[in-house]
Structure 1
Amino acid sequence: MAFNLQIIAVDRVFFEGEVGKIILKGTEGELAVLPHHTPLTTTLAEGEIKIFLEDKTKKSASLMGGFVKIGKDKTVILTEAAEWPGEIDVDRALAAKERAEKMLKDSNANQARAMAALRRALVRLDLTEK
């Protein structure tokens, strides 16, 4: 049994296909979606999405927040950015992490923006280490 998953990032349709299950990070915690899930719309946090295909193959990607609309037969995710592990530039993510950490030490910096940048960098780095 499967359902259709569509992940739309700002710059592209990131993924579209039939899946058996997904696990992703909502702002209220982790969420698993299976076929015939109760309809739900909620916000997403920065984090990893685990996509389980019908043949039990697992794919992982990063999602940079957004929204998910879960229907009985189709789930649509709208996100600022989505990346497969091979698309992530580790050096760039490390540099972003260092910049964010410096901003957090600066009392004149926008702390919320620095924390968001740090979360995005950590999600990317965590995904490349798996």
Structure 2
Amino acid sequence: MSTFRLEIVTPERKVYDHDVNMIVVEGVEGQLGILPNHIPLLTPLRISPIRIKTDGRAEEVIAIGGGFMEVTKEKVVILAETAELPDEIDLSRAEEAKRRAESRLLHLDEYDAVRAELALKRAVNRIHVARHKH
């Protein structure tokens, strides 16, 4: 099966750099599946997991905190605000962040609702990816 290069980069580091068979991402317009020889594309990404499929290995999942994806003939580059591998996520810390965000949403007069919703999305995404560990 053919492959393409996937790079996931944050402002702090390169999180992922491997040949893959397929990725599934959540763009602002919906879910996108990228295979080798995909047409060129540039799209913003939502806070969501990225699912990565490679030959002979289990599906990998990486939590991203939004960003952009560029698809070219040679490779796919994801410029993410944040990106974490499952083993890097502290599940108890993510669950506590989720509880805090949910509490803030109940008291909208005290907190910025948009910030609380984004914090909740990030926490839920991190919990989902952390639980995907094998």
TM-score range (shorter-chain normalised) is over 0.9
Partner Cα distance (2:58, 2:111) in 1: 43
Q: What amino acid is the match of 1:63?
A: I
Does residue 36 of structure 1 match 2:37?
yes
Moved beyond 6 Å, runs of 4+: none
SS at match of 1:108: coil
Uncovered stretches (5+) of structure 2, i.e. residues with no partner: none
Indicate the residue corresponding to 1:69 in structure 2.
70
Partner Cα distance (2:9, 2:25) in 1: 15
Q: TM-score normalized by structure 2?
A: 0.92
Greater per-residue strand proportion: 1
Does residue 102 of structure 1 match 2:103?
yes
Indicate the residue corresponding to 1:127 in structure 2.
129
**Sequence identity percentage:** 38
The equivalences for 1:39-118 within 5 A come to: 39-55=40-56, 57-106=58-107, 107-118=109-120
Contact kept, 8 Å, 1:48 with 1:127, in 2: the verdict is yes
Contact kept, 8 Å, 1:18 with 1:54, in 2: the verdict is no
Uncovered stretches (5+) of structure 1, i.e. residues with no partner: none
Partner Cα distance (1:105, 1:57) in 2: 39
Q: What amino acid is the match of 2:130?
A: T
Partner Cα distance (1:13, 1:56) in 2: 21
Aligned positions, number: 130
Give the aligned CA root-mean-square deviation in angstroms: 1.2
